Structure 1
């Protein structure tokens, strides 16, 4: 029987929350640490499921890797294993086998990789015959997952001829590519990016001591809570203003939705303020993982919105556009796709379910972005709540510490 949590909110929130380490940084750090042949472990790694999948793969004596639902691990390990001597098989969950990987695989093949689709053409699972890649010049679409580009960049210095990558079309999630390049620099590798051309010459990674910073994506759910509750104040230690994480832009965006951010030497404090946009407009092409949080927040605050740049949400853990439309309708909000990559709520309402029961679609961000809806619907029920282990395993415990009541149903 499916697990459910019944959520009831507190009347006030004044707390300190110790966020998980950044999943994005942790996953890249593990790959770069391995490529540098370092024997020093990464400090303060994320304890999320996605990161654990990569750790388990590196510690495995098998040539068969199961990444479960971890899309980042599937992409990063596919590229990593393509350059490692041996024969490897990499697979994942049913949903993972529905997520296309051909743009990465076909580019790797051009660079000298030997990769075979074991079931459906263009999708995992994969058989990889690993060896040193020749490298060369390739053309990739900028509107595919930035993780494809990051996966190629991280293995590029070890290619015989290095890599020249020409990016065509608009680059989506550019901050994640910037994060990858910045971390490669931390490990001693120089990358040149001019216009839409990225060049990585053959070079060696340097083994370094590395500590992972806290996760700005996880902070977004606390911004949502503070936005919805007058008087709320939350301290979030370990977040940096000058962060390479693209989702640190959440602080700027929430300034229009009633949250002010105070930067401290050891983190931030976020406070509710009486500020409310009449309508919220934003292009999420660079911060797609924040779209669910802002869709939920705007609806819960009664602020119509128009989002663009949401094309990549259809190929995430689930079709996040469809999921948002379905689940927010249960709470009385009629969202619609108003064009390619456009998601809109014009204020139209419908009769909500008496006790909204939110499906999570095996998507951690659906569970966490919908949970603050309990301020409007007391209680709110979340199906399959432990999907949050993918990125923020302590989320429900942190809500309890902030005064929320979480009851298994």
Structure 2
């Protein structure tokens, strides 16, 4: 029997791995184990509860003021004993977090095969996004099976001399999770009673390290000006817990009419909020895939993206962090209904909700 260990530590990782973990658990010829590092404790637990996943191991590594070095060391140390004990045929990691790279390295040290879900994303700038770009590139150097979400991702891997037979284009598992969750609904009027839902909702998320400081301030100022100049809008910002984000958000956006600073949401209400939004402004990677699947245009608050397929498809626009440009592009979409419809109706290139099954089929073929 094949033994597979799935490892993740943050909420985005958990969301994208959940449908794969659930499907693995139903395979009669695979023994599936789940390890969480809890790199982000509270937000991770919300997803585990929503998808009814009970980890077999919980490293619980999160510490106040943790550094990248600290996370790396604690993941390596914690996984060593688990991998030695379980002796898996394959360790599955996801995406580009520090947990991802550290877990792949721990598996390599124990000579266990590595499967990389969402492989091949690249910006080709090692400091943007930081540290994610190098996390995924270093993970790729260790990986045995690369589960690429798109043809573009596969092309990136081929340029790095990864053998073609080691790459499988699967679509992205986040679409699997999103479509399952979006079929449900959540009473947002009860959760957010101060919001006027008859207005156009602008959903803002921003937290990336490379945006801390002045770039984040520019984002907040532009968002505030958009809400001021378009009275039929309301902005909702689930504020990240990091003080570098929350303190600045409160300085610039708090106590502003039609702007709502709220606590981070569980995944189900967040998907419902995304589904009811008019426009998404984000520096997140995953939301560049998720929001277009719901027909929501996305303005990407970053200078680079590892998801050029979305730009080429017309589902997202790169606006960076310049205050004037963000305001200009946002205002155009709020004023020009034709431009808005073109983005909203563009075809999302990230999959059909069946990525998890393709990944499991590839694992079975590999070990057959």
Q: TM-score, normalised by structure 2?
A: 0.28
Tell which has more relative contact order, 1 or 2 (C-alpha 8 A, sep 6+).
Answer: 1
Q: TM-score, normalised by structure 1?
A: 0.26
Q: Higher Cα Rg: structure 1 or 2?
A: 1
